[in-house]
Amino acid sequence: MQANLRKLGALIAKDAADLAKNPTMILCVLMPVGFAVFYRFFIGDMGLAGSLRGDGGLGASSQVTSVVQYIVLSMSLCLSIGMGASVSLIYGLAEEKEKHTLRTLMLANVSAEQLMLAKGFVAFVLTIATELVCFAVSGAPWSLAGWYLLLGSVGAVPVILVSLVVGLASRDQMTAGLYSVPVLLLTMAPIFGSFSEGIRAVVRFAPTGGADELLRLIVSGSLTPAAAVAPLAVTAVWMVAAVVVFKLLYRRLLRDN
């Protein structure tokens, strides 16, 4: 047991070091934070100007603030998961396959479960850390931080599992660039839900759609048990589906390597 834990710790340290040295992985962290800052001030200024041209009342200002906070947090949540839990995993795994690092590790008596657990854990921590930084620069009240990180954690799990499979299916980094696009688009789809109700009705079924819908309810103060049923069901279905896909495919893809 202790030997397995030491092996797992060494794998986690290796993956974390690889992430820290890879410019693409660093960009995966900086992009969501940069967009959070941009959205906060750009959309915030537009919303403030719009409310001043209106009735200028306290109710209008409060409503604008709530909408701006949701848009910034929604973008940060989806982009953090998309970049941290998706792109970093897919590119990282593809790079290791291209350099035959995965084959070397498995020949060194490292199990497939240990490999996947280490990579998934590092991607999960990277995602949560990115979400925390994004929240800190978003200007949202810290009373929402716990909910935000909880939803980000839940929303990241199915994306991590799917990304592990996609990364193993990628022959090299060029293939990873192609395969990562649909995963990233699905993960970021809820961002566009704020444009219209029609778009929201579709993107709510995306992997991060349930978490995003719960975030909208929490920020607007309209979260009720009845309203939470549908987004929780969407999240649960994606988690179960991701677990099934991962269980069925990851061993075979590792053998193909």
Q: pLDDT for 95-106, tens place per residue?
A: 888 888 888 887
pTM for the model: 0.88
For the cut 60, the answer to whether the pLDDT of residue 50 exceeds it is no
Whole-angstrom Cα distance, residue 175 to residue 241? 24
User: What is the per-residue pLDDT for 51?
Assistant: 47
Encoded amino acid at 228, one letter: A
Give the mean pLDDT of 187-206.
88
Give the mean pLDDT of 1-20.
85
> What angle do helix axes 145-169 and 173-188 make, rounded to 10 degrees?
150
